[in-house]
Amino acid sequence: MELIKPEFGLFFWQVVVLVILVFLLGKFAWKPILQGIKEREDSINDSINAAEDAKKELMHLQEKNQDMLNEARIERDQMLKEAQAAKKRMLEEANTQATQKAAQIVAKAQEAIEADKKAALVEIKSEVASLSIDIAEKILGQNLKDDKAQRQLVEQMLKDVKLN
C-alpha cells in the first residue's frame, strides 16, 4: 500500500524528477517538436494557398475558355449571316439575270412573230392580188351579161381555188 499512499520523500523526489524532465523536454525536445509542427503547419498552409491559387487560376481559365467559346459562337453566327446574305445576293442576281434573259427571249420571240406575221400578210396580199388578177382575166375573158352568170362564175372560181 505504500504505492497507493506515497510518503513525503517519494512524493518530493517524483516532483523534482518531473520538474527536471519538463525542463529538459522544454529545452531540448519541445522546441524541435514545436518547430517541426510549425514547419508542418506552414507547409500545409502553403499547400492550401497554392491549391486556392490553382483553383483561382482554373476559374480564370474556365472564364477565359467560356469567353473564347462565346466569341467563336458570335463569329460563327456572323459567318453564317454573311453566307446567307451572299446566298441571297446570288439568288437575286440569278433571278435578275433569268428575268432579263427571259425578257430578251420574249422580245426576240415577239420580233420573230411580228416578222412572220408581216411575211404572212405580204404572202396573203400577193395571193389575193394573184387571185384577183386570175378572176379578172377569166371575167374579162368571158362576156357576162347578167348577174346570175357572174355569180356562177365566181362560185366556180372559188371552188377551183385551193387555200393552203
Tens of pLDDT, residue by residue over 74-94, are 999 999 999 999 999 999 999
| pLDDT above 80: residue 143 | no
Which residue range is the domain that position 44 belongs to? Answer: 36-160
| pLDDT above 70: residue 162 | no
DSSP class of residue 4 equals T
Between 153 and 82, name the one with better pLDDT. 82
| pLDDT above 50: residue 106 | yes
User: Across 3-7, 81-85, 131-135, which has the greatest mean pLDDT?
Assistant: 81-85
Other Cβ atoms within 10 Å of 138 Cβ, number: 14
Split into its structural domains, the chain has a count of: 1
Angle between helices 30-141 and 147-160 (to 10 degrees): 140
Amino acid 141: pLDDT: 63
> Is-contact 156 139, C-beta < 8 A?
no
> Is 17 contained in some domain?
no
Amino acid 164: pLDDT: 45
> Is 19 contained in some domain?
no
> Is 18 contained in some domain?
no
Q: Which helix (H) or strand (E) segment is 3 a member of?
A: none
> Is 49 contained in some domain?
yes
Q: What are φ and ψ of residue 6, in 5° steps?
A: -75, 155
Q: What average pLDDT is seen over the chain?
A: 85
> Is 21 contained in some domain?
no
Q: What are φ and ψ of residue 5, in 5° steps?
A: -120, 90
> Is 122 contained in some domain?
yes
> Is 151 contained in some domain?
yes
